[in-house]
């Protein structure tokens, strides 16, 4: 059974940092592109960042470039999202996802597996 489980969310003040983690089980983790998406209340889900199976290439949304960093550890089946200089507009439910498609995968429909999400709340 495929599972992606996120952790690391919480409440943080503006300007603070959080590191999200996602562990994958039951899937060929080290062959898949991994991505992070987020969805704020009453807004559509949006792409945050993605990383190739090897970790060599990453791609981030303009809204988080220079603040968020995606990384992975294939030995542990883990993908991470380091979030610095957080802003209230970063408040959302953050999901990790795994996909087989062609790089870069920035559309939600290109991903095959999804986690349940972890909540990030940034207070002003």
Instruction: Say which residues have a Cβ less than 8 Å from residue 40's Cβ, sequence separation at least 6.
Output: 89, 91, 92, 93
What is the pLDDT averaged over residues 35-51?
Answer: 97
- Whether the upstream peptide bond of residue 14 has omega within 30° of 0, thus cis, is no
What is the structure's pLDDT at 103?
Answer: 86
Q: 49-68 b/e with 16+ CB inside 10 Å = b?
A: bbbbbeeeeebbbeebeeeb
12 pLDDT band (50/70/90 cuts)? Answer: very high
The predicted structure's pLDDT at residue 13? 98
Local confidence band at 101 (pLDDT 50, 70, 90 cut-offs): confident
Cα–Cα dist 28/45, whole Å: 25
Task: Output the pLDDT for position 111.
Answer: 96
User: 102: pLDDT confidence band, cut at 50, 70 and 90?
Assistant: confident
Residue pointed to by tokens 């983790």: 29
């Amino acid at each position: 059974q495929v599972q992606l489980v996120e952790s690391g969310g919480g409440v943080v003040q503006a300007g603070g940092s959080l590191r999200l983690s996602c562990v994958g089980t039951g899937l060929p983790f080290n062959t898949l592109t991994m991505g992070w998406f987020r969805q704020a209340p009453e807004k559509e889900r949006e792409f945050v960042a993605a990383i190739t199976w090897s970790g060599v290439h990453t791609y981030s949304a303009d809204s988080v470039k220079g603040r968020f960093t995606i990384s992975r550890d294939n030995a542990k089946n883990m993908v991470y999202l380091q979030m610095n200089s957080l802003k209230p507009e970063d408040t959302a439910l953050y999901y990790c996802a795994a996909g087989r498609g062609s790089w870069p995968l920035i559309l939600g429909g290109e991903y095959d597996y999804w986690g349940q999400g972890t909540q990030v709340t940034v207070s002003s």
